[in-house]
Structures are given as C-alpha cells and as structure tokens.
Amino acid sequence: MSNKNFMSAFEQYNKSHEQKKRVSGEDLLKKYFQIKEGVQRIRLMPPLSGEEYFEKAKFHMVRETAYNRATGKTYLGWKKHYCSASNDPKVEKVDANGDLVLDKDNNPVKVRPHCPLCAEKDRILATQDQSLVRKKEVELTTQAQKIGYAKNKEIFKEAMQFTPKDYFLLRVVDLDKISDGVKIWQFPYRIDKQGVHDYFMTAIGRFHKEFPDSDWTSISDGCTFELKNVEATTKSGHQTTKLQVIYGDSKLSPVTLDEILNKKLAEDTTKWSDLHKKKVRAKITHEQYLERVITKTNPYYDNDQKKWVFPDPKDADLQSNANNRSDDDLTESSSNGNQESSMTQAVVANEMENTNTQPDMDSLTPEQVSSMPTISESTNSGTSESGNIDFSDDEVDDLPF
C-alpha cells in the first residue's frame, strides 16, 4: 500500500469513527442555556455565517401529557414543538398519487413542508363562516350575522392554540461554564416588549453609545452581560426563576484570558438548528407525534412503569414497539443478566447518535434528566398573536425529551 493509499484509508477510518461517535444526553443538555437564581455572566457569540445576531424561528406551544422531571410524574403541561412549515425550506408539491405538481411553465410548484399542527390550525379556520371573516363587528346588520360572528371568534380562538409562536435563538457562553462551549438560549418574542430580547436591546443600545465602533459579540474585545434572576412563583404555584434585568459591562474585554479557550470558542459552530432536528420519540416520527398531540393521544413517558405509553388503543402496534431497544442497545447492556435493569443502564449511559445526524431521542428518556432544574419561561410568557395564552401559568418544558 502506497503512503498515499494508507493516508486515504486512515482518513476513512477516522471519518467512519467520527460518524459513529456518540454524544451523551448530558452533553446535549450542556448546549441549552438556562437561567438560574442569582447573577449569571454571559457573552453573546458572533453570529455564524449567514445567521443573524438574534436568530428567529417558530415553534408550537401546546398543552399535552408530558413528564415532569421535578416530581417524576406525568402532568398536563406546555411543550414546545419545532414547526417544519415555518422553519424548513419549501418542498416540491405532490398530488394524491404522489406525482409532482407543475406550474404553467412546467416547473415544480413549491409549498411549505407539512406540519400537522399548522394543518390543524388551517382545518379549524376553514370551518369559519367565510362571508363574515373580514367583516368588522359594526358592519353586522342581522342577528344571524352577529351569531355567526361570535361563532367565528370562538373558532379563531380554538385555531390559535395551533399557531406557531416566534422565538429568538441566541448563541451564548456562560462565563461560569466556559468549558461547556457555546450554548443556545431560546426565548419567545414578547409583544409587550418585556422579554429577553427587549432587555438585550436596551443593554446593547447603551454599549453601542459608549463604544460605537465595537462589536458586542467580539471574543477579544466584546461586552460581558450580567443577568439578574430572582426566584418567583407562577400563578399555578410552581417555583420558577425570573429574569429581572440585563446589564452590559461598560468596558471592552476578551471572553477569557485563556487564548486557547478563546480560539476554541471562536471555532465553535454550535447552532440552534443542531438542537432542533425533528425529534423521534417512542420510535415514532415528529409528524406522527404531533398528529397525536392534536387528538391528545400523544405518547408520554411513564416513570412508574419506566416506559413509553400510547394512550390510544389504536396504537397497539406502536405501543408494543415503543419500548423495544435496538440490537445495539441490547448488545451494550448484555453483560447484565437482568433485562429490565440492563435496559435502564443503557438509558443511563445517556448515549445517542452524534448530533450531526438526527438524534435518536428514543435513546433518552425523561428520567435521565430528572436532576435537571425545571425550565420555565415565565418571564417570557405571552404570545405574539392571540395574546390570550399565558405560559407563566404552568411549567414549560423546553428540553428535547
């Protein structure tokens, strides 16, 4: 084998090894920035090529049966779901037979990718009396119109629960945990201008006034931000942490004095979309899961039984498959004679596919992160559209499990 061939084989070996590299659930959790009681000091990282300082994306926030890490019990709570229709590029439209739909110039017609929750919103809205949709209340003349108008309002309210909400996604470094690398902080857009983004705008505005030629995200000469957080109780009695204010340092500084660490951060390409690949839960696709969210039959993790549960009897086949480990997992745990406990061990091993590929969320169960603090977005509650959903009233589960 020539030296060149050997090098090529060596590279291939390294590459295949790289692909099989597994990332632990713990490592994944490190990528989520969470506010904690007291003071936190952070840096905002420069945007990646083609990205904004404050990236934006849409997520659905829906109420569903979920797992509460703090109590170890299932509960009815708010969960956040990636919206493919809003965030993914358009796809070629196909008809009922699976054939491409072409426009008059014979080019494929492009449409938004299918999102079950957006489709449900559209389905509900289509049941409105269309003749009254654009009318104002003062324009209604008959009693029948007034009744129809009131009904339309109810239908609109029902549809809005399936409307995706705007979120900001920010690349940050927690100065108390620099070795974790770049983390993603996600917070909702607030119509009342009392959200995290608004606090940042005030702090950045001050920084810009003082250092008009400086970039607050500069790793060598940027701004350190201080977050003040307080403990608070939500309307429903949950303990939570609230962000009170963000201050920007009135001097320029490097992220750390450690040059090697700064270089590492500069090369860190962690981006929000890495954390928001479509999730696979209980061995069903993101879309299949969302279809069940609509009918309130989504699978959930039952900590008492230590398994995924499908509430709909029609999902019997999925139920029987949901808790089967893959061959890989069984091999991994075969040294333990007790199947049940070895499966738990496999779970505790926190292993999942490298995030370069779609993470197999199935290999993570909520119990793995039971020690993690509950994430709340109470300070970021509210919604950009309907204005009548207050997430602060309950726990918002923000993690991908």
Which residues would be at the binding site for Zn ion (CB under 5 A)? 83, 85, 115, 117-118, 164
- Shortest distance in whole angstroms from residue 49 CB to Zn ion: 27
- Shortest distance in whole angstroms from residue 358 CB to Zn ion: 18
Which residue in this structure is represented by tokens 């659930």? Answer: 25
Question: What's the N-to-C CA distance of the chain in angstroms?
Answer: 48
Please state, as a whole number, how many other Cβ atoms lie within 10 Å of the Cβ of residue 211. Answer: 18
The two tokens of residue 204 are: 């950045």
- Shortest distance in whole angstroms from residue 60 CB to Zn ion: 6
The two tokens of residue 167 are: 């979120």
DSSP-derived secondary structure letter, 109:
P
- Shortest distance in whole angstroms from residue 252 CB to Zn ion: 42
The amino acid at 13: Y
Distant-in-sequence, close-in-space partners of 92: CB < 8 Å, separation ≥ 6: 100, 101, 108, 109, 110, 111
Q: Determine the Cα–Cα distance for residues 77 and 64; give it in Å rounded to an integer.
A: 6
Helix residue ranges, H only, 60-115: 84-87
Three-state secondary structure string covering 332-362:
HCCCCCCHHHHHHHHHHCCEEECCCCCCCHH
Pick the closer one to Zn ion by CB: 246 or 284.
Answer: 284
Pick the closer one to Zn ion by CB: 208 or 277.
Answer: 277
- Shortest distance in whole angstroms from residue 285 CB to Zn ion: 14
Please state, as a whole number, how many other Cβ atoms lie within 10 Å of the Cβ of residue 201. Answer: 14
The amino acid at 333: S
Pick the closer one to Zn ion by CB: 290 or 322.
Answer: 290
- Shortest distance in whole angstroms from residue 286 CB to Zn ion: 11
Pick the closer one to Zn ion by CB: 61 or 346.
Answer: 61
Q: Determine the Cα–Cα distance for residues 399 and 281; give it in Å rounded to an integer.
A: 13
Pick the closer one to Zn ion by CB: 66 or 117.
Answer: 117
DSSP-derived secondary structure letter, 315:
G
- Shortest distance in whole angstroms from residue 62 CB to Zn ion: 10
